[in-house]
Each structure stands twice: as C-alpha cells, then as structure tokens.
Amino acid sequence: MIRLFAALAIPPEIGRPLQTRQAGIEGARWRSLEALHVTLRFYGEIRQDVARDLDAELMTITGRPFEIELAGAGSFADGDEINAVWAGVAENAELRRLAEACETAARRVGLKPEKRNYRPHVTLAYLRRPDPAEVAAWIQGNNLLRSPPITIDRFGLYSSHMGREGSHYRLEAEYPL
C-alpha cells in the first residue's frame, strides 16, 4: 500500500514569502518549504497495482500551461476543532479542469469519488486545539495575502510518509502540461 496524492508544487520564490507568515499560533506545526503544495486530488492508501494504473491514467491528462495566484488566508473547521491554516488560491477555471481530470483518473482505476468540494489552498500549518483567538488574529493579519502569478506547466504524483515531525512527501512521477 502507498499513500498518494496529485499536486502542484509551490516554487521556492513563492514559498519563502509564505514562510515569513508562519508564526503567531502557539503549537502550530508549520510546513517546510518542500512540503508546500496545492493538492489536486488526494487518493489515499492504495495498492501498488492500482498506483501503476493511476500513473498510466494521469499520463493521459492533457492541457496547456496556465497561471494561478495565491489569494487570502483561512482555516479549516471552527473553534476547538480548527485543524489547519492555509493560503487560498484565487478562482481559476484551468486549475479546476486539472483537478477534475485527476478525479476522473481516480474513478477510472476504481477509486471512490471524492465527496468534498474542491477548495484549492496551500496548507501552511496543522493545528491541534489552538486558541481560536490566535487563529482569528493570524487570519486577519494574512487575509490580504497575494502572490505573483505562478506558472503551472506540470503536476506531480506524490507519496506521503508519516514521520515524527508529520508527513514527508516524495515526488513519484511528474506530468507535463
């Protein structure tokens, strides 16, 4: 079994300014520069043979390069249940098409459909029972976040491995657009 997801890597020139925003929430597990990405589709734990089939399906995805921009900040869940803070991604039709293509690839290899609505973002920190006031202050201080345009000319299939400090990601395959 291997834990996989399709994603867009955040280039270092965009990620470094994001890291300057990684402060102000006690106990936050801030993500490293190498871990910053925009998930297209989380596939979860799958067998190796399904992973090979998924790779073959992802290779068939076509498209042309496009640009995305990071915009805004927020969190997932409310109150004591807040579990992450993130930088948002401005609405983008090309990004949505790519995410839908990654979802279609999942269905073609027999994976269950994703039930959650797609909300593109870059997770900056995972949280465990944070002070909601600290999170609110962080969001207020970062809600005007904007990045320069980020050219997307490829996407990747990543594996996720749990370690003491959280998840570590490895690029397994890359697909040009």
Strands 2-9 and 84-89: unpaired
Catalytic residue among 18, 121, 130, 147: 121
CA dihedral 126, 130, 133, 138 (to 10 degrees): -20
Q: Which of the residues 35, 37, 103, 125 is marked catalytic?
A: 37
Question: Which helix (DSSP H) or strand (DSSP E) does residue 172 occupy?
Answer: strand 166-176
User: Whose CA is closest to 97, among 142, 155, 47?
Assistant: 155
- Per the annotation, the verdict on 121 as an active-site residue is yes
Region for residue 170 given its phi and psi (left: phi exceeds 0; alpha: psi -120 to 50; beta: otherwise): beta
Q: Is 161 among the catalytic positions?
A: no
**Catalytic center residues:** 37, 121
